[in-house]
Chain A
Amino acid sequence: KSKNSSGTKKKVERPKRVENKDAPTILQAEQITGRPARDLYLDYEVEVQRDQTLLTGDHGIFRQEENETELIGNVFIQRFGDQFTAERANLNLDTGEGQLLNTTYKFEETNGQGKASKIELVGDDKTNIFKSTYSTCEGVNPDWYLSSNKLHLDNTRNIGYATSPVLYFKDVPIIGAPAMTFPIKAERKSGVLPPTMGMTSKNGLEVIVPYYFNLAPNYDLTIFPNLMARRGLQLGAEARYMGNNYSGTTYVEYLPNDKEADRDRYFLSTKHQQAFNNGLSYYWDVKSASDDKYPDDFSSPQNRDLQRLLLREGGFKQKLGVWNATLRATNYQVLQDVEAPIIKPFDRLPQLTITGGQEDVHGFDWQMYAEMTRFWLSNEYLDQMPLKQQQARGNRFIMKPEISYPIYQSGYFFTPKAILNMAKYDLDESPYNVKSLTRVLPTFSLDGGLVFERDASFFGKGMTQTLEPRLFYVYTPYKDQSKYPIFDSGEPSFGYPLLFTENRFDGYDRVADANNLTAAVTTRFLEENGAERMRFTIGQRYYFTDQRVYLYNTNLEESQNRSDLLVMAGGKILPTFSVDSAFQYNQSTRKMYSANFSTQWKPGPMQLLNAEYRYLRDTVDFYGNKLDQVNVSGQWPIAKRWYAIGQVSYSLADSRTIENIFGFQYNADCWIFRLMAQRYATSSVETNTALYFQLELKGLSSIGSNPLNALRRSIPGYEPLSP
């Protein structure tokens, strides 16, 4: 949501292509003969001028009745900033109609220029150009030009239509067609987007020619026909729309009769949301793919929405005062990778959630979370559950009221809080032979901290340094939950937020027994305007009693009296250099459980280097999900007009490339060349290699997506290359 109250952008208004017909016409020549009010014969250094029109030439006739000029020899015409030269020409100053022979032209607004055997000016906005070249490059030797039998340019509709066009690049003909259209101005306008050609190890040669339909200011459609040599013609389409109270995007890829797989292949992603004035809203978010192998064959770094677990979700939301109700249904499609199978998550068919809360009711804050869910999974998937994770399907009812009394001051805060966890399960059939389960557990917590400050200096700059010790105590009594199912609970990533939550499990199927205290200290360096420059945190949780509640009764032998130690540091050491790091260390096993250290150097626009190390130890995971990798990425202007981008992700644990990308862009005055090479893993055994290139001829294709910009996801801090 963006609310822009001021600063509406004003486009610079161009003078309209209208000539003041009452302006005087000035004729000059070394010799003028004829009768006033009739035809005038002009000879030598002829110049005819009126308002926005200027004609010069060697000899000419001016017909006053028609207001028409005819010129022969070294003709030069300038009208509304457009310029023409010709051997002979005539122009009617009133209608803008005229004809030029053996001519060159240059249009001011579009910078379209070239030569032609004949130009017909059909009024002030339409032009027919015969046996011509057309280019947006300057000079007599353009890098690219379009030659055509007839070129029709329509300024009002912003369209060029060429008959028998042949496109030359560096004087080499690269493509010909019976006819083509192109937008003549750089506006969001329907037209062909720069085509991309590529070679991929999965699909062979690929040619993508996207077409953009600018249907209205608030909705558009892009189609991406992609001809794959080994598979066939894939059609992609993306529709986007936005209204006052609704918005959405739908993306479809469809490949009829894939020659390699011998079947139709598709992928669909659609999102929509709409809100009504009465507080009611609805939404959907649905993804679907034709088969398990789809990500192997078609996923790419540009297309990461395509994962192996595809969510389908839809629901209604209603607001009523302090209450919010959501009724939704969710389901996942699993695109299995046989080598590393995914356990299908439960469907929620449906889930009704009611939340509410108020703040500062006589100093108290209260919150209520209530939820009723039918968790469903077919027998086939239930049977696939791993041995110790056997599950039942069933209904779950949760009610979780919370009340707290926060005290905030600028130097300290203190929040006592009480929570009541209530759950009721009705199971179809359970591996533990229980059908009905209830659980009521209270939780009490105290959260408090102090904030100290002092003046400090940070890399020679005066700053405020804070020191913020914080303590958090939780008590929840123990209850054996080993026979309770696990629908949506798990162990969250270890991190600062987790140290300060009451339940060390997320979801609602496990309420952790707790009698523990978290202690953490943060220190920040603040600039004069309050901006946080740097932050260091160290924290740990101490258990006064052993933890006895586990997810899948997988009692870890490392029962400890304290949690892993968390150490974090992050911020901008220098304005151009920032670091971010976090470490999770277990003192009793003396092992690092997770570590990441990343640095970013951004000395200027389009200049960026990232280097990162990430480590995650395998914990209770079944399929080997250790992470031990190095990522290096960046973008850099390597020479004048040359921009390079690249990314390397390498898994040290598997000695395997995860994603390597290299691309560059050459930005000439009237064209851009882009090249992108990629190699990435698509499943546990498969890798795809792809090479794409694209030649964008400025002024011939619509303004559209730049394939290199799709890499922003892989390169943190990436700035789009213009345009």
Chain B
Amino acid sequence: CGFHLRGTNGIGGDQLSFSSIYIDFPADSQTSARLKRLIKGMKLTKLANNPKEAEVILSAISEKKNKDYLSLNAQGRVREYSLDYILEFTARTPQGKILIEPTKLALRRTMTYNDNEALSKENEELMLYKDMQFDMAHQLLRRLSAIKMSAINGSEDQTTENTTSLDRQPEHQPGTPD
């Protein structure tokens, strides 16, 4: 039926097309921790400690959690909550070339609720947010996989490791729009 295991096809959005990434998220972001773990575990790409050493910089513009009631029962009490997790991110090169325009990703989980179970629902809420953070990390990874560095750089040579940013800057700056 045409399905093949991801990563066995050679071409396509299987692998990250860049060798190093700097993840510029708030230090306590669970999403970035998960994303880093995925990237690390796959040994695809190096995690840079410094934005200047990275080929791609992924930045969180805003990270928001929202909890609002979704449905009320006939007594006017909350019966279901909707938990929203909204992340706005962008990806660029250290030279400032935008690879992914600022994009908002919104995830939602519903949680049944009953005042009698307030304490257990507190635990459930944590679980659902964790699930969304995992989901978000995978969504980010798929977005990163869609970046085609070769098309942006024009040549594969420039994606080699240890090319210092100082060397590259003069070459690229005149060409970058914006």
Contacts and interface: CB of A to CB of B under 8 A. Distances in A.
Determine which residue in A332, A530, A653 has the highest number of CB atoms from chain B within 10 A of its CB, and name it: A530
21 contacts: A2-B62, A4-B61, A311-B118, A342-B115, A360-B40, A411-B5, A411-B14, A452-B6, A453-B3, A453-B9, A453-B12, A454-B3, A464-B13, A492-B120, A492-B124, A506-B124, A506-B127, A530-B146, A627-B73, A649-B71, A684-B75
A627 B77 contact: no
Interface stretch (A77-85, A483-491, A669-677): A483-491
Contacts of B122: 488
Interface in B22-54: 24, 26, 33, 36-38, 40-42, 44
A622 B116 CA distance: 10
A269 to B, nearest CB: 15
A290 interface: no
Interface in A371-401: none
A337 B124 contact: no
A170 interface: no
A681 interface: yes
Given A453-B6, A507-B123, 10 more contacts: A3-B62, A308-B115, A359-B40, A466-B6, A490-B119, A531-B143, A614-B80, A623-B116, A629-B71, A658-B74
B109 A408 contact: no
Contact of A530 (B6, B42, B61, B142): B142
B73 A345 contact: no
A452 B9 CA distance: 10
Given A365-B37, A596-B110, A625 B73 contact: yes
A304 B143 contact: no
Contacts of B68: 304, 713
Given A2-B62, A506-B123, A412 B5 contact: yes
B2 A713 contact: no
Interface string A518-554: 0000000010111110000000000000000000000
B145 interface: yes
A334 B123 CA distance: 20
B5 A530 contact: no
B131 interface: yes
Contacts of A682: 76
B156 to A, nearest CB: 20
Contacts of A507: 119-120, 123
B72 A5 contact: no
Contacts of B42: 408-410
Nearest to A412: B5
Interface string B70-98: 11111111111000000000000000000
A489 B40 contact: no
Contacts, number: 198
Interface stretch (A127-135, A187-195, A493-501): A493-501
Interface in A450-482: 450-456, 464-467
Contact of A452 (B4, B59, B63, B115): B4
A489 B122 CA distance: 10
Interface of B is mostly: mixed
B3 A452 contact: yes
B60 A3 contact: yes
Interface string A303-323: 010011101000000000000
Nearest to A619: B112
Contacts of A124: none
A616 interface: yes
Contacts of A493: 110-112, 124
A350 interface: no
Interface in A323-380: 332, 334, 337, 339-340, 342-343, 345-346, 359-360, 365
A359 B33 contact: yes
A1 interface: yes
B142 A526 contact: yes
A423 to B, nearest CB: 14
A490 B120 contact: yes
Which bucket holds chain B's interface residue count? 35 or more
Contacts of A421: none
9 nearest CB pairs, A to B: A490-B120, A681-B76, A408-B41, A530-B146, A488-B119, A452-B3, A497-B131, A410-B7, A530-B142
A713 B69 contact: yes
Interface string B131-161: 1000000010011111000000000000000
B109 A625 contact: no
A656 interface: yes
Contacts of B36: 359
A491 B110 CA distance: 14
B15 interface: yes
A455 B13 CA distance: 11
Contacts of A232: none
A379 to B, nearest CB: 19
A280 B60 CA distance: 24
B166 interface: no
A594 B70 CA distance: 15
Nearest to A309: B115
Contacts of A455: 2
Nearest to A489: B120
Interface centre among B12, B75, B111 (most CB of A within 10 A): B75
A681 to B, nearest CB: 4
Nearest to A486: B120
Interface in A594-636: 594, 596, 614, 616, 621-623, 625, 627, 629, 631
Q: Which of B33, B44, B118, B139 has the most CB of A within 10 A?
A: B118
Nearest to A654: B74
B40 to A, nearest CB: 5
Contacts of A307: 77-78, 115
A304 B175 CA distance: 53
A647 B159 CA distance: 54
A680 interface: yes
Given A1-B26, A493-B110, A529-B146, A488 B3 contact: no
Contacts of B6: 410-411, 451-453, 466
Nearest to B131: A497
A198 interface: no
B165 interface: no
B127 A497 contact: yes
B114 interface: yes
A407 B79 CA distance: 39
A465 B36 CA distance: 25
B70 to A, nearest CB: 8
Contacts of A488: 119-120, 122-123
Contact of A453 (B4, B72, B80): B4
B37 A530 contact: no
Contacts of B110: 493, 495, 582, 596
A136 interface: no
B162 interface: no
Q: Most chain-A CB neighbours within 10 Å: which of B4, B68, B73, B128? A: B73
Nearest to A570: B108
B138 to A, nearest CB: 9
A299 interface: yes
Given A309-B115, A453-B6, A530-B145, A497 B128 contact: yes
Nearest to A450: B5
A564 interface: no
A659 interface: yes
B5 A452 contact: yes
A683 interface: yes
A495 B5 contact: no
Contacts of A649: 71-72
Given A5-B59, A309-B118, A345-B119, A684 B33 contact: no
Contact of A616 (B1, B72, B79): B79
A586 interface: no
Nearest to A501: B127
B11 to A, nearest CB: 11
B41 to A, nearest CB: 4
